[in-house]
Amino acid sequence: MKTKLWRTLSALLVSTTVLAVTACGADASPGDATGDGGSRPAPGRGGSAVVRTEGGLVRGSVTDIARVFRGIPYAAPPVGPLRWQDPKPAAAWNGERDATKPPPACAQNPGAVPGGSTAEDCLYLNVTVPSGKTTGPKPVVVWIHGGAFVNGTGSSLDPARIAQRGDVVVVTINYRLGMLGYYGLPGLPGSGTFGLSDQQAALSWVQRNIGAFQGDPGNVTLAGESSGAMSSCAQLTSPGAAGLFQKAVLQSGACNVSWLDNFDERHKKAGAVFRPRSEIEERGRKTATELGCGGRDPAAVIDCMRGLPVDKLMPVLGGFVNPAFDTPVLPVDPIDALDKGQFMRVPIISGNTRNEATLNAVYYDYPEPVTDRTYDEVLTETFGPDRAKVDAEYPRSAYGSAAEAFAAVITDRKWACTQYDSSRKLARYTPVHQFEFADPKPPSLLPEPTKMPMGAYHSSDVLSLFDIAGLSVHFTPEQQQLSDRIIDYWTSFARTGDPNGPGRPDWPTFRADVNPPYTQALAPGASGVARVDLAAEHHCGFWAGMSRGG
């Protein structure tokens, strides 16, 4: 149980729990066709619930704040022979398609989606347009949900507040997850990148259709958190994404996120997000054999795997959560692409939460936080002869508990310093604005009080941007002001490539030739938005010099 708890809790917060909307979305019908459609987008009417897309008419919901269109297909259902193929065009429909209900979540085990989902017909997106604002064209924000590449849904977050306050169009998307999104086999085109290809298909749909929703297809910002940010970083390096977006926001996820032994769970080996295609295909070959589809003929193996019911794949769905490079979608490892400057030169916002790994540490010794004994054992197992260096850099006496010390080590090595390094590489070629979300007591989404301080835990910054259907999140007046400032920063960036504007503290760019480069701390209160020396705060110089895993 402990082995899967971190992933489940992470999914609940990274893709953010949706109790009301997603629960019905897992079984919601994507819509019915009843009349005459069309294939040519037309400009949307101000305030209209009906918009014409390339596939036909869609009827959404209208409130005083926004017009919302849910469950619009951007690709054909990847089922049957289309399982593990790159996305194909969606079929047109007749009449008005019902776009008032959330679409099915892509197949996943219980966690972010209550009860999970077995839907493979899931390649849908949602469009939120502000009501009562300018007539357009408006900046567009395409949000990629997090969830460790194996959980989540585009319907999990309600972007109406961003759309209304920032006067932007927001698109949230589904994409194939786990084994259905990142499986590979020798001889299988697209191995390890189907989920990333789905994201590109959604971005292409935006280019062709967002004008019908008052959006500007020439002013698109790709944004995401955790695995959504890692996806966005990968798209910066992908030839197939060229021209599909003009800016990027990377929240708690970069191309070079990596971890050491025991970081996420006991005995989990060190690794990185993106893996070679050969490794994914070899893992896929072994899994095919375990599922009764082994054989020497690659085509027969693929056909057998496509013929398996989705229920048979669910137990191994989480075994494939690493997008593959050495592929047409990712010709080189995104880490190497950043090193060599081989990425799209677009303005970027990049950053972390101050206490990323408290969520990890709180249940590491399920059902308790990390204990002194576990902390001692894990540091010895992980760092070996370098253990003394870690003890000197992170003295146990400097922290309130072993769990807090453990969280600090993982926060710094896995999250903060990798993102910082990524920002330095990006900033050599393109404008970067670096942030650290630092609210010391953000609202908690955990089901019960924790036995350690959580601080600005992984995904807590998402609450400042999105509302969560079915859950009540209470901000103090200072937190509400911070949320408004973050929305203003983000949407100003989406509009112009610069987060600065009237009514909020200045945010200088992150320059690699300045020591230390500027990082904007985002916290409540009069002095909460200010400069922070992120590298010093998170011991990045120490980790850069470590002989093991530095």
Taking each continuous run of H as one helix and of E as one strand, the counts in the chain are: 18, 18
Pick the closest to residue 103 from 200, 198, 24 (CA basis).
24
Q: Which tokens go with 85? A: 């193929």
SS3 163: helix
Q: Assess contact for 188 and 302: CB atoms under 8 A.
A: yes
Residue with tokens 């191309």: 255
Q: Which tokens go with 152? A: 């989540």
- Give dist(CA 444, CA 450) in Å, integer: 10
Q: Which residues are catalytic?
A: 226, 356
- Give dist(CA 227, CA 321) in Å, integer: 10
Q: Assess contact for 149 and 227: CB atoms under 8 A.
A: yes
Chain Cα centroid distance, residue 455 = 21
Our CA angle for 382, 385, 389, nearest 5°, is: 85
Q: Which tokens go with 61? A: 């919901």
CA distances 494 to 8, 322, 348, Å, are 31, 29, 10
Q: Which tokens go with 91? A: 């079929």
| Environment class of 473 (CB within 10 Å of its CB; exposed 0-12, middle 13-18, buried 19+) | middle
CA gyration radius for the chain? 22
- Give dist(CA 483, CA 103) in Å, integer: 28
Torsions phi, psi of 138, nearest 5? -105, 150
- Give dist(CA 39, CA 69) in Å, integer: 18
Residue 85 DSSP symbol: S
SS3 28: coil
The b/e string for 314-335 (b: 16+ C-beta within 10 A; e otherwise) is beebbbbbbbbbbbebbebbbb
- Give dist(CA 357, CA 458) in Å, integer: 6
Q: Beta strand pairing status for 519-522 and 530-532?
A: antiparallel
SS3 528: coil
Residue with tokens 């025991």: 262
Torsions phi, psi of 53, nearest 5? -105, 180
